[in-house]
Amino acid sequence: MNRTSIVRVFGMATIPFEELGHFRRIEADLGAGLRGRFIVDTGIGMSVISPSLAQRWGLAPSGKTYVGQRMSGQSIEVPLADLPGFSIGAEVIAPTEAGVFDLGSDGDVDGILGLDVLGALPLTIDPARKSLVLGDELRDAQDVVVPVRVHRDGPAVDMWVDLILPDGTLVEVEIDTGSAATILNDTMLAACGAAGTEPIRVLEGVDETGHSYVRRFIELRESLHLAADPRAIQQAPTVMFQDIAIPGLIGTDFLDQWVQTYDTRDGTLRLRPIDDSTISTAQHPSLESVPANP
């Protein structure tokens, strides 16, 4: 990607991304001819870069560390490095800090950027056009506007939202574009009408912290929807159930039914229907009523 691939829509920088499975990868200009390839992940909490990129960028550990928690509850301590300012498209990202962590990506990903870095501006992800926008986005009265809780833990930033399960149970879940599947704690099986249901797939393994897991993928007969607006619904989803330390999360299987705008400034998630028309400086995607894996 280069500067000629950046277009402006109503003064906003629209940046194309590549798809790696359900992940979205963008390029950034790190200065002095150095470029980096980053996954955009609203659920990472604290952004991280690979040791290889830290070396190429000339960054040394700052002496500080951050202790994060995996979804399954295990703590991970990560050394921090101070990042100089860099550019994503036409947007300049201010100097910040990030963790240095081995991503095991064989060099195709140099880091993961979360809302701690990208959340200073509204972040819009358009899955149909394979693009994202950093900056104030167009708004319409027909947008589904969902209040979210912006959680800050030291340098880490993430978003949580209320989700209604099939039996009416309300749970607070993380909004995580780093996951494809909607993931729920095993304790939610009954509330989803899935207790005793045969999984369509079961994954068993051991993660990098040595923690063993069992992941059961079950197709629900009923829907899930966000508590703030029943139009934000996922019909008969396939949900991954696991013994985890949080109630759950919603991933791209749920979110990519819409163009999503994440705004940490006012604590909202804005959803608008995906429209196939071409974006131009004279026309924004039409806004109509919203239609009824990790």
In 3D space, the residue among 124, 160, 106, 107 whose CA is nearest the CA of residue 40 turns out to be 124
Q: Which of 4, 103, 2 is nearest to 47 (CA)?
A: 103
Per-residue pLDDT of the chain (294 residues; tens, 9 = 90+): 333 233 344 446 689 999 999 999 999 999 999 999 999 999 999 999 999 999 999 999 999 999 999 888 889 999 999 999 999 988 899 999 999 999 987 789 999 999 999 998 899 999 999 999 998 766 777 799 999 999 999 999 999 999 999 999 999 999 999 999 999 999 999 999 999 999 999 999 998 778 899 999 999 999 999 999 999 999 999 999 999 999 999 999 999 999 999 999 999 999 998 874 333 322 333 222 222 333
Q: Is 36 exposed, middle or buried (0-12, 13-18, 19+ CB in 10 A)?
A: buried
* Whole-number pLDDT of residue 170: 98
CA distance 26 to 30: 13
pLDDT score, position 171? 98
What pLDDT score does 106 carry?
A: 77
Quote the pLDDT of residue 74.
Answer: 87
Per-residue confidence (pLDDT) for residue 138, from 0 to 100: 67
- Using an 8 Å Cβ cutoff, are 294 and 178 in contact? yes
Please report which helix (H) or strand (E) contains residue 160, including its range.
strand 156-164
DSSP 253: H
The kind and range of the H/E element at 80 are: strand 75-83
Domains annotated on the chain, with CATH: 3-134 (2.40.70.10), 144-273 (2.40.70.10)
